[in-house]
Amino acid sequence: MAVHAHPDDESSKGAATMARYAREGVEVMVATCTGGERGDVLNPKMDRPEVWRDLAEIRSKEMAAAREILGVQQSWLGFVDSGYLEGYTPARVDELPEDSFARVPLEVAAAPLVRLIREFRPQVVTTYDEQGGYPHADHIMCHTISAEAFDAAGDPNRYQEFGEPWQPSKLYYDMGFSKDRIMAQHEAMLAAGLESPWAEAIEKWDWSRDKGGRVTTRVPCGEYFSIRDDALRAHATQVDPDGQWFRVPLDIQQKVWPTEDFELAKSLVETSLPEDDLFAGLR
């Protein structure tokens, strides 16, 4: 089960891993916390009044297309997008709209995820780290409810209205944007005589905050990168098909960094690090 904040997050974080496992016969569920109602239209080709007017409905349809491409199941947890607040920290939660996901009390916010875990019974759960991957209120809240539900779903004394307890065995955090990965792609583009889409970002990023050293698990999934990209393009309001996501050719990506990377945050089974499989210790 992959727990994500908004529709499109599942296609930009760990999507090739999900596509690989789904095609190997693993049942894969995406839990989407919000409908992305307060998102922006990031694809200039879709920046039209009728799109803004029907954004929630359009994003729901985009999610349906993406999950079909990935070959996964998907469930909405039913919360309302908090919107993006520049420089957000949880201390600023009162600045968000009152109906925001990030303002829902933890017991209430974790409840639908506990119910889904008990219904779907995953062995592995993936989500974001304690900073949300990046400081978006919904991403941080997504982490918070995932950590809460991971433990609560297996506790027979909690959320008793949701049936028999089920304890997942492993909890992972997505770790997709490491310095090593970006530099490997950047240098490979230059070596091929191509313009790197990362050049400007490399100059601006604060590399002291790089989390690449936290990676414990690299899942080989390069052959599924094209499926990941197709799922991303399905989120047409959020992803410019001519934008930065797609400027490193697939063959270069597959050659220099053919994995998606995770941090094993919690495991109730014995496993040896580093891993190359989210199900290590469970096979």
Question: Residue ranges for the binding site for Zn(2+)?
Answer: 6, 9, 139
Would you list which residues are annotated within the binding site? 6, 9, 139
d(CA 267, CA 281): 9
d(CA 73, CA 179): 32
